[in-house]
């Protein structure tokens, strides 16, 4: 054992000294430092180390494998100058990656050190890996997460895991990077080793406590991984959302994060609300969210900006995710997630209004005038859905929405004028897209408000907004090349035509 340690120390020492000398270049005459020959020599030294490490990891000696993986890790993590070339050389040798995958799944105690360094090598390579090309990688990651099968199926959190927290975190980090590729997400969906339940398990620490920094990292990385998985496109995303939604522990873990958050965990809130917004596309998840008064209360408070000690960019992310979740909660779906904007889900709207205070509604309405276009658009859709409710029990709340009509009309008018005046601008296409979505959202809200009030209410709103109804209908021509914006402006003009009789 002493011999092995001495050998390992010698190899690491040699690599370190060589790296420092290569970086410092004090052995080279200054006039040759930037020559092609010198650069090629340095590159060759680094690449020869990769070849040497490759030979080591393919031996039968556990000690040699450990040394090989440590060399690869050092080159990939420390030698920034040659990372790209090293990655290319390693990717061209799939045997190295497959050996790292094999080592990752090893359960022998004697392999623990090599297993850890193999995991660090895979972590550096993960963004470029195709799961299809390396059978067993998801099974190996699942083994790193360490939760026992019986704990997964029973939902128990009481049994201590034999796998260290460092291994659990590495497994989650590798999976998170793999999830950047939609094709890999589809393979995660098909994984048979309880992979999704294992990730969900780590959205809550044992006993519900985060006693150290690594606990926070584990929960945060598991949430980021789930967020990437449910964000992916296509049928795989639908199935992944269903898998996450049907796990009874997930909603409970999310509820604990959102309701019991502390000031030191704003990023957990961002990830948790982002996942909720995406899961609201799934019928089962929508019903679970709707039944949780605490979650709805928090989503409303996030949107209303009622959260202390949070930086502005964090608050904006929370508001965006909260508004998306609330909009989807209040919007029914049919034919595989196609939104029906003309009707709303009455029970969900009731659940949202029941948890909304007057002060909250005032703050939410205020977003229509003073936030980014993206937030104004989604809040306009939310208020459109809420205002479709006609029950008398929330009259005071709905009145707060109605009172926004003059300013909403002003924004519609200014938006149409802005698109008309900038139609020849080189950024007109982007402008049409942004303004078109804003018009669509605000026109929908206007129609909903007017539908629930009489003609005098609209007349008063026009007067307050200082708007006349004789808009130039010939102005539609500037939008003829863009069917979407044209339909929105025509809708706006038809609305004005329809309401001319009220004046």
Do 99 and 10 share a structural domain?
A: yes
Q: Name the least confident of 294-308, 317-331, 482-496.
A: 482-496
The rounded distance, in Å, linking the Cα atoms of 201 and 323 is: 27
Classify residue 57: in a domain, yes or no. Answer: yes
pLDDT tier, 261 (very low <50, low <70, confident <90, very high otherwise) = low
- Residues contacting residue 363 through CB under 8 Å, at least 6 positions apart: 303, 304, 305, 306
Residues 469-498: what's their mean pLDDT? 47
| More confident of the two residues 264 and 58 | 58
Report whether 191 contacts 236 (CB < 8 A).
no
The rounded distance, in Å, linking the Cα atoms of 414 and 186 is: 45
pLDDT tier, 308 (very low <50, low <70, confident <90, very high otherwise) = low
The rounded distance, in Å, linking the Cα atoms of 429 and 425 is: 9
pLDDT tier, 390 (very low <50, low <70, confident <90, very high otherwise) = confident
Whole-number pLDDT of residue 211 = 60
Domain end among 246, 277, 296: 246
- 162-180 CB burial, b ≥16 within 10 A, e <16: ebebebbbbbbbbbbbbbe
- Residues contacting residue 47 through CB under 8 Å, at least 6 positions apart: 82, 85, 86, 89
Phi first, then psi: what are they for 227, rounded to 5°?
-60, -45
Classify residue 264: in a domain, yes or no. Answer: no
Do 193 and 104 share a structural domain?
A: no
| More confident of the two residues 46 and 140 | 140
Classify residue 185: in a domain, yes or no. Answer: yes
Of 96-105, 343-352, 419-428, the range with the highest mean pLDDT is 96-105
pLDDT in tens, 428-452: 455 456 777 888 889 889 988 988 8
- Residues contacting residue 303 through CB under 8 Å, at least 6 positions apart: 319, 322, 323, 326, 360, 363, 364, 367, 379, 382
Classify residue 276: in a domain, yes or no. Answer: no
Domain end among 103, 128, 153: 128
Do 60 and 151 share a structural domain?
A: no
Classify residue 383: in a domain, yes or no. Answer: no
Q: Residue 292 gets which letter from DSSP?
A: -
Burial tier of 395 (Cβ tally within 10 Å: 0-12, 13-18, 19+): exposed
Do 57 and 107 share a structural domain?
A: yes
Whole-number pLDDT of residue 226 = 94
pLDDT tier, 296 (very low <50, low <70, confident <90, very high otherwise) = very high
Of 273-277, 331-335, 429-433, the range with the highest mean pLDDT is 273-277
pLDDT tier, 319 (very low <50, low <70, confident <90, very high otherwise) = confident
Whole-number pLDDT of residue 338 = 43
Q: Residue 333 gets which letter from DSSP?
A: E
The rounded distance, in Å, linking the Cα atoms of 344 and 396 is: 20
Classify residue 160: in a domain, yes or no. Answer: yes
Report whether 254 contacts 248 (CB < 8 A).
no
Report whether 325 contacts 299 (CB < 8 A).
yes
CA distances (Å), 188 to each of 12, 179, 217, 325, in order?
A: 36, 8, 21, 25
Count of structural domains, the chain: 3
Do 51 and 6 share a structural domain?
A: yes
Residue 193 CA to chain centroid, in angstroms? 24
Classify residue 487: in a domain, yes or no. Answer: yes
pLDDT tier, 262 (very low <50, low <70, confident <90, very high otherwise) = low
pLDDT tier, 333 (very low <50, low <70, confident <90, very high otherwise) = low
Whole-number pLDDT of residue 288 = 84
Report whether 267 contacts 273 (CB < 8 A).
no
Do 476 and 414 share a structural domain?
A: yes
Q: Is the pTM of this model over 0.85?
A: no
Whole-number pLDDT of residue 171 = 94
Whole-number pLDDT of residue 402 = 94
Do 5 and 118 share a structural domain?
A: yes
Whole-number pLDDT of residue 151 = 44
Do 142 and 102 share a structural domain?
A: no
pLDDT tier, 36 (very low <50, low <70, confident <90, very high otherwise) = very low
Whether pLDDT at 300 is above 90: yes
Do 196 and 96 share a structural domain?
A: no
CA distances (Å), 373 to each of 277, 304, 417, in order?
A: 19, 17, 16
Whether pLDDT at 477 is above 50: no
Of 30-34, 192-196, 398-402, the range with the highest mean pLDDT is 398-402
Do 187 and 150 share a structural domain?
A: yes
pLDDT in tens, 40-85: 444 444 557 778 888 888 888 888 888 888 888 888 877 566 677 7
Domain end among 108, 128, 148: 128
Q: How many CB atoms within 10 Å of residue 87? A: 17
Residues 273-285: what's their mean pLDDT? 85
Whole-number pLDDT of residue 398 = 94
pLDDT in tens, 145-165: 875 544 444 443 333 344 688
Do 113 and 7 share a structural domain?
A: yes
Do 37 and 16 share a structural domain?
A: yes
Classify residue 348: in a domain, yes or no. Answer: no
Domain that holds residue 157: 137-246
Of 11-25, 117-131, 229-243, 475-489, the range with the highest mean pLDDT is 117-131
Whole-number pLDDT of residue 490 = 59
Residues 134-140: what's their mean pLDDT? 88
Whole-number pLDDT of residue 156 = 39
Q: Tell me what the pLDDT averaged over the chain comes to.
A: 76
pLDDT tier, 332 (very low <50, low <70, confident <90, very high otherwise) = low
Residues 248-273: what's their mean pLDDT? 82
């Amino acid at each position: 054992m002493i011999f092995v340690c001495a050998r390992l120390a010698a190899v690491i020492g040699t690599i370190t000294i060589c790296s420092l000398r290569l970086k410092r270049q004090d052995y080279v005459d200054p006039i040759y430092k930037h020559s092609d020959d010198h650069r090629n020599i340095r590159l060759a030294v680094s690449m020869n180390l990769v070849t040497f490490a490759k030979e080591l990891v393919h031996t039968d000696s556990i000690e040699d494998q450990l040394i090989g993986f440590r060399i690869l890790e050092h080159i990939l993590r420390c030698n920034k100058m040659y990372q790209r070339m090293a990655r290319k050389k390693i990717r061209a040798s799939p045997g190295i990656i497959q050996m790292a995958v094999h080592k990752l799944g090893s359960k022998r105690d004697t392999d623990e050190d090599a297993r850890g360094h193999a995991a660090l090598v895979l972590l550096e390579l993960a963004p470029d890996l195709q799961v299809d090309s390396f059978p067993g990688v998801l099974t190996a990651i699942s083994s790193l997460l360490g939760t026992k099968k019986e704990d997964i199926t029973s939902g128990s959190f009481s049994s201590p895991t034999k796998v260290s927290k460092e291994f659990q975190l590495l497994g989650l980090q590798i999976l998170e990077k793999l999830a950047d590729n939609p094709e890999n997400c589809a393979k995660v969906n098909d994984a048979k080793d309880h992979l999704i339940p294992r990730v969900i398990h780590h959205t809550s620490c044992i006993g519900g406590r985060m006693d150290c920094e690594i606990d926070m990292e584990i929960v945060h990385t598991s949430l980021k991984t789930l967020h990437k998985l449910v964000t992916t496109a296509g049928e795989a995303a639908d199935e992944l959302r269903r898998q996450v939604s049907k796990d009874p522990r997930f909603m409970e873990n999310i509820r604990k994060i959102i309701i019991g958050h502390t000031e030191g965990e704003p990023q957990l809130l961002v990830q948790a609300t982002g996942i909720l917004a995406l899961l609201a596309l799934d019928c089962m998840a929508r019903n679970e969210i709707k039944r949780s008064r605490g979650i709805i209360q928090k989503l409303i408070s996030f949107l209303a900006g009622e959260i202390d000690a949070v930086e502005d960019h964090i608050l904006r992310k929370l508001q965006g995710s909260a508004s998306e979740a609330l909009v989807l909660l209040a919007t029914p779906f049919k034919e595989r997630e196609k939104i029906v904007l003309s009707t709303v889900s009455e029970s969900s709207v009731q659940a949202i209004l029941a948890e909304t205070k007057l002060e909250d509604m005032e703050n939410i309405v205020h977003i229509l005038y003073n936030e980014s276009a993206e937030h104004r658009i989604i809040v306009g859709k939310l208020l459109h859905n809420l205002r479709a409710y006609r029950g008398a029990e929330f009259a005071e709340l709905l009145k707060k929405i109605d009172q926004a009509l003059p300013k909403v009309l002003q924004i519609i008018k200014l938006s149409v004028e802005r698109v008309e005046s900038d139609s020849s601008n080189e950024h007109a296409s982007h402008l049409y897209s942004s303004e078109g979505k804003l018009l669509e959202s605000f026109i929908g809200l206007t129609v909903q408000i007017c539908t629930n009030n009489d003609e005098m209410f609209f007349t008063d709103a026009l007067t307050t907004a200082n708007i006349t109804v004789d808009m130039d209908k010939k102005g539609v021509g500037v939008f003829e090349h863009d069917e979407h914006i044209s339909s929105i402006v025509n809708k706006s003009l038809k609305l004005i035509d329809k309401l001319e009789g009220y004046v």
